[in-house]
A and B are shown apart, each in its own frame.
Chain A
């Protein structure tokens, strides 16, 4: 029997709200964070909308997330988002930033996809212009994949395992699962976990070229992200970060920490890009196994799931995802759990999706509500043939949520699923 693992702090930088209070208000009221991006129109992108957080870059300095010296020369947007979410989660769990000794009991698993390519453009230009000598000392630390974890762990003096994970859209849920496992197995008492993403112009352009983005709602950006609807024509890229402080239950109780929720377990696997799975499509057998294993690891039966926080990106994969949940849970029609997609409000923030959506799931557990699916006025009949429409709420439902399942599925045919619960003594 491993240690019990609880959530004692949360932070978020989301397109529809920076900081937990603003984000909670936004998801309860179905507020979209999707905006028209004039630059994308100039660049002849098909999709010209995105979920960009209203993030005050100076706040990194003014809110003491990092020192002025570290702030000077910080260009990586992904790192900035991750720092803000992580520091907020840390403060939310009732701990101060400063320490002289390393915090040996605390580690960090934080994920991201890629360094900020827009910031790296300047590097490429200087090198090509034979001016490599002028790059200075701050490029490598921001170009490296572990940039975000290095900044976070350095600021807080974290001295346990420091891991940067990357598994496309499954990154965020996987980071949380890895942190949970280290604590459960006794390797760490506390883990700061989460993920961050800045979809820069170049990454955005590459997705645009794949023709997987929503392109028919450039005039009405708030309508552009439409999971499960008949007009779902692709996803809307989003940026941001979510972070959680996970702790060994006894360790958290000893210091009198506030406990938001418990992580009961989870699973991370791959469909092996076999049996219908490819680089870009999920093998349904792998997805079903991931969900089933997550429930088994958590010791939870399918009937106990009150809420599914879906991956549901607003592509033609939505129908198959719903079918996979039905198969894994053995529940469909009227018996299907309440299900929502945060992406209807903020778009798909790739590596950050899982951590932002986990923060949303925990807020729904803590405050007893199920957030609405917005832009769902025209449900896809292939989905409503499988599950009752009332299980896919378009208005917030006030309701006790005891157990939530949060899953994400990513390029490379990778899957991650978490089972989250109200904290019961």
Chain B
């Protein structure tokens, strides 16, 4: 999967957790999940769980800590996908 493909899928994973739908439509790798998308910090856990299910990967605690903006989310997901491959 390319980074763009992952980003498009990631939008769907994030969608239920943000009320800022306009921002979601125009996210880029710098978009911050909490500051820009106004996601409740407790919900980051839910996004990680949903991402694990969607990509059939496991995201360990250390990797999860890195997932603060869209770019680092894509980094972690592509890393885990590569490990699986």
A positions within 8 Å CB-CB of B: 67-69, 72-73, 133-134, 136-138
Contact B19 A69 (CB under 8 A): yes
Report the separation of the CA atoms of residues A56 and B19 in the bound assembly, to the nearest whole angstrom. 22
Contact A69 B18 (CB under 8 A): yes
Residue B85 interfacial (CB < 8 Å) = no
Least Cβ distance of A317 to chain B in Å?
45
19 contacts between A and B (CB under 8 A): A67-B19, A68-B16, A68-B19, A69-B16, A69-B18, A69-B19, A69-B40, A69-B43, A72-B16, A133-B49, A134-B49, A136-B45, A136-B46, A136-B49, A137-B42, A137-B43, A137-B45, A137-B46, A138-B46
Report the separation of the CA atoms of residues A69 and B42 in the bound assembly, to the nearest whole angstrom. 12
Report the separation of the CA atoms of residues A134 and B19 in the bound assembly, to the nearest whole angstrom. 23
Report the separation of the CA atoms of residues A67 and B18 in the bound assembly, to the nearest whole angstrom. 10
Report the separation of the CA atoms of residues A72 and B15 in the bound assembly, to the nearest whole angstrom. 10
Tell me the interface secondary structure of chain B in the complex: helix
Tell me the interface secondary structure of chain A in the complex: loop
Report the separation of the CA atoms of residues A267 and B18 in the bound assembly, to the nearest whole angstrom. 45
Besides A68-B16, A69-B19, 15 other A-B contacts (C-beta < 8 A): A68-B19, A69-B16, A69-B17, A69-B18, A69-B40, A69-B43, A72-B17, A73-B46, A133-B49, A134-B49, A136-B46, A136-B49, A137-B45, A137-B46, A138-B46
What residues of B have a CB within 8 angstroms of the CB of A67 in the complex? Answer: 19
Report the separation of the CA atoms of residues A269 and B44 in the bound assembly, to the nearest whole angstrom. 45
Scan B36-48; emit 1 where CB is below 8 A from any A CB, else 0: 0000101101100
What residues of A have a CB within 8 angstroms of the CB of B45 in the complex? Answer: 136-137
B5-42 residues with Cβ-Cβ distance < 8 A to A are: 16-19, 40, 42
